[in-house]
Amino acid sequence: MSKRILTAKNARNAEKTSRLQHYSNVFLSLSSLGSLWLNTTALFRLKGAGWMLPLFALTARAESRFPQPQFDTGHVVPKAFHPPVIAVVSEWMDVAILLIALGVATWLVHRVRSRRWIVAFSILCLVWFGFIRQGCFCPIGTIQNVAVAAWHGGGLAWGIAAFFALPLIFSLLFGRVFCAAVCPLGALQDLFIIRPQRVPRAWNAVLRLVPLIVLLLGVVYTLNGAGFLICRMDPFVGLFRRSAPLPLLLVGMAVLLLGMVIARPYCRYFCPYSVLLEWCSRLAWKPVKITTETCINCRLCVGVCPVDAVEIPRELPNETTRARLLHRFVKLMFITPFVVIAFSSAGWMVGGSLLASAHPVVKTRNALQVSTPATEALYPEIEASKKQGHTREDIDVQAEKITEKFRLGSAIAGGLFGLIIAMRILGLSQLRRRAEHEADRYNCIACGRCYPVCPKNLDNA
């Protein structure tokens, strides 16, 4: 009988203890909520917050009940990291801001037609897309993501796809309004233009091939797993993020200093995304116009254009000139296949001997060829492959496969490069009549410098 009474008492005591523990947990949870509410309203209700002080004490007591664990292995509990508000801006918000920025730039270029407003808006975009968002998302770098998704599959984030496509769509509709004010790289360079000098036409034609080379090399590197070359060669990302190797910072500053006399050198002679923008703007539905009225051919726009993007009037060629141009066109058409084959062969050789050496596996194979058993420890690539359990035979086989892929990709890229060069040369043989000064659809960056000097625009202001 006494054992049953003790068992009943123990059961009642256990039930009471459980209830007290439950009420204690509920009270501690309410106290935590009260302290959270006080933290968020302390700035506005300091006088009426005195009654919450006991809850603060209880909260502190609740936190102290669970001390951090101690590890014998030397592990240190990491500190909690709370990202800034700007870092948690969602992807759709970035895309929405880009879309709004492109719309405003289009309105300023085609409707307002004011150089001052274009500059003011470009500074705003420079601050947001450049220094606040630190160059991400960047349409220039998305070329590589799109190339990987198109070639290897696996899908593409819709935000990256939008940042890649939206500037191209607007360029196809309204010209290069993205270059006018939205692009932070172009906006930064535009602020440094002081006394732009004209680049000789022959040099300009050669230098404008460099962006195409960068575009093709970036795609070949990316598709073959050698890294994102275009992002690594961005001279301004270090300035935007305030953290970059010293050589990259020096290159960025050198480009800005060069931009004082050669307007926008990166945009014109290096940016791979400009190649796609130029192709789209050439077919623009409503291209950029110097004036919406009849041009009086005063040539003032030619003198202020920093990128030499104003096409001067030109009469139709006479019969003799047309016959000579037709003869030149036929000869160029005949040699075009040979140009494509020559550049494709050059790409095949360069891809296998030079470009493939950028891949980590090929680097390891090359290090194994020049090292000895006593000096293998001096090569980090060899040490890394040993830790991964790769044998020398495996590395040789993988390196050979990667080299063949680089040869094939470089051959295709070289053939495309030769074909584009041949098409540009063929375009020189076709002359159309031009009655007035026009903005070059291919090269005009819609900076608006020609707007205030045009007498027709002043008459309508």
Give the count of beta carbons closer than 10 Å to the beta carbon of residue 147. Answer: 19
Give pLDDT, residue 48.
43
- Contacts of residues 265-270 at CB distance under 8 Å and 24 or more positions apart, as own/partner, are 265/189, 266/185, 266/189, 266/235, 266/236, 267/179, 267/183, 267/185, 267/186, 267/189, 267/445, 268/207, 268/208, 268/307, 268/443, 269/207, 269/208, 269/210, 269/211, 270/210, 270/211, 270/214, 270/233
Residue type, 297: N
| Of 75-84, 171-180, 212-221, 223-232, minimum mean pLDDT range | 75-84
As a whole number, mean pLDDT of residues 323-333 equals 88
Helix (H) or strand (E) run with residue 281 in it: helix 273-281
Give pLDDT, residue 85.
56
Q: What is the pLDDT of residues 17-76, one digit of tens each?
A: 555 554 455 444 444 445 444 444 443 344 444 444 444 444 444 444 556 666 667 677
As a whole number, mean pLDDT of residues 414-423 equals 94
Query: Residue 81: pLDDT band by 50, 70, 90 thresholds?
Result: low
Give pLDDT, residue 256.
94
| Most confident listed range (125-139, 277-291, 309-323) | 277-291
| Residue that wins the pLDDT comparison between 452 and 392 | 452
As a whole number, mean pLDDT of residues 187-215 equals 93
Is the predicted pLDDT of residue 431 greater than 90, yes or no?
Answer: no
Is the predicted pLDDT of residue 82 greater than 70, yes or no?
Answer: no
Using CA atoms of 367, 371, 375, 378 in order, give the dihedral in degrees to the nearest 10.
-20
Q: Please check whether residue 159 is in contact with residue 95, taking contact to mean a CB–CB distance below 8 angstroms.
A: yes
Query: Tokens in use for 165?
Result: 């496509």
User: The tokens 């006399």 sit on which residue?
Assistant: 261
Give pLDDT, residue 13.
57
As a whole number, mean pLDDT of residues 371-396 equals 82
Query: Tokens in use for 418?
Result: 């030769």
pTM over 0.75, yes/no: yes
Give pLDDT, residue 280.
95
| Of 58-67, 210-219, 247-256, minimum mean pLDDT range | 58-67
Give pLDDT, residue 28.
45
| Of 169-183, 243-257, 372-386, minimum mean pLDDT range | 372-386
Q: What is the pLDDT of residues 269-303, one digit of tens each?
A: 999 999 999 999 999 999 999 998 889 999 999 99
Helix (H) or strand (E) run with residue 461 in it: none
Could you write out the DSSP letters of every residue in 33-49? HHHHHHHHHTTT-SGGG
Q: What is the DSSP letter of 434?
A: B
Query: Residue 78: pLDDT band by 50, 70, 90 thresholds?
Result: confident
Residue 164 CA from chain centroid, whole number: 9
Is the predicted pLDDT of residue 363 greater than 80, yes or no?
Answer: yes
3-state secondary structure 99-145: HHHHHHHHHHHHHHCCHHHHHHHHHHHHHHHHHHCCCCCCCCCHHHH
Is the predicted pLDDT of residue 331 greater than 80, yes or no?
Answer: yes
| Of 1-5, 83-87, 260-264, minimum mean pLDDT range | 1-5
Query: Residue 460: pLDDT band by 50, 70, 90 thresholds?
Result: low
Query: Tokens in use for 350?
Result: 């360069």
Q: How far is CA 416 from CA 40, 213, 336, 337, 410, in A?
A: 61, 10, 12, 11, 10
Q: Please check whether residue 185 is in contact with residue 293, taking contact to mean a CB–CB distance below 8 angstroms.
A: no
The CA angle 415-213-228, to the nearest 5 degrees, is 110
- Contacts of residues 358-363 at CB distance under 8 Å and 24 or more positions apart, as own/partner, are 358/221, 358/226, 358/227, 359/224, 359/225, 359/226, 359/399, 359/402, 359/406, 361/395, 361/398, 361/399, 361/402, 362/399, 362/402, 362/403
| Of 92-101, 203-212, 239-248, 311-320, minimum mean pLDDT range | 239-248
Q: What is the pLDDT of residues 180-190, one digit of tens each?
A: 999 999 999 99
Give pLDDT, residue 231.
86
Conformation bin of residue 183: beta by default, left when phi > 0, alpha when psi is -120 to 50: beta
C-alpha R_g of the chain:
32
What burial class does residue 117 get, using C-beta atoms within 10 Å of its C-beta: 0-12 exposed, 13-18 middle, 19+ buried?
middle
Domain positions in the chain are 2-64, 91-314+438-455, 319-427
Q: Round the average pLDDT of the chain to a whole number and report it.
A: 83
Is the predicted pLDDT of residue 246 greater than 60, yes or no?
Answer: yes
As a whole number, mean pLDDT of residues 393-399 equals 89
Query: Tokens in use for 316?
Result: 């139709």
As a whole number, mean pLDDT of residues 158-169 equals 93
Measured CA to CA, the distance from residue 348 to residue 354 in angstroms comes to 10
| Of 43-52, 145-154, 234-243, minimum mean pLDDT range | 43-52
Query: Residue 156: pLDDT band by 50, 70, 90 thresholds?
Result: confident
Give the count of beta carbons closer than 10 Å to the beta carbon of residue 161. Answer: 16
Give the count of beta carbons closer than 10 Å to the beta carbon of residue 320. Answer: 8
Query: Residue 86: pLDDT band by 50, 70, 90 thresholds?
Result: low
Q: How far is CA 334 from CA 330, 338, 425, in A?
A: 6, 8, 13
Give pLDDT, residue 50.
45
Peptide bond into 137 cis (omega under 30): yes
Is the predicted pLDDT of residue 372 greater than 50, yes or no?
Answer: yes
Q: Please report, rounded to a whole number, the percentage of residues in the chain having pLDDT higher than 70.
A: 81
CA-nearest of 349, 330, 365, 363 to 407 is: 349
Q: Please check whether residue 247 is in contact with residue 309, taking contact to mean a CB–CB distance below 8 angstroms.
A: no
Give pLDDT, residue 432.
76
Give pLDDT, residue 121.
97
As a whole number, mean pLDDT of residues 413-439 equals 88
